[in-house]
Amino acid sequence: MTNNSVMNSRNSVCVIVHDKDTDTIAAVHYAARNWLPQPAWTVPGGKAEPGEALDEAAARELEEETGLLVDPADLVLVHVIHVEQG
């Protein structure tokens, strides 16, 4: 990985919202777009802004994509994945 790619990289987050009462998860449905050839379901998520904490990014993305509000302190980190592009 070059220094330039490290400098231009940003962390991404995904949020799985599990409703224990109904045993369901929140999902987002996307229509087909130029980056998505077919409609698809996915969990809310996106890229963290520069300097933004991951829990804050997760809460922001959840609100932007679903309208659900959550205190970043109430989120639980479940898994971290490191991916090298190349």
pLDDT digits 0-9 by tens, 25-69: 888 888 877 777 888 888 999 999 999 999 999 999 999 999 999
Kindly state the average pLDDT of the residues 4-30.
81
Domain ranges of the chain: 3-67
- 45 CB neighbour count, 10 Å cutoff: 16
* Cβ-based burial of 13 (10 A; exposed 0-12, middle 13-18, buried ≥19): buried
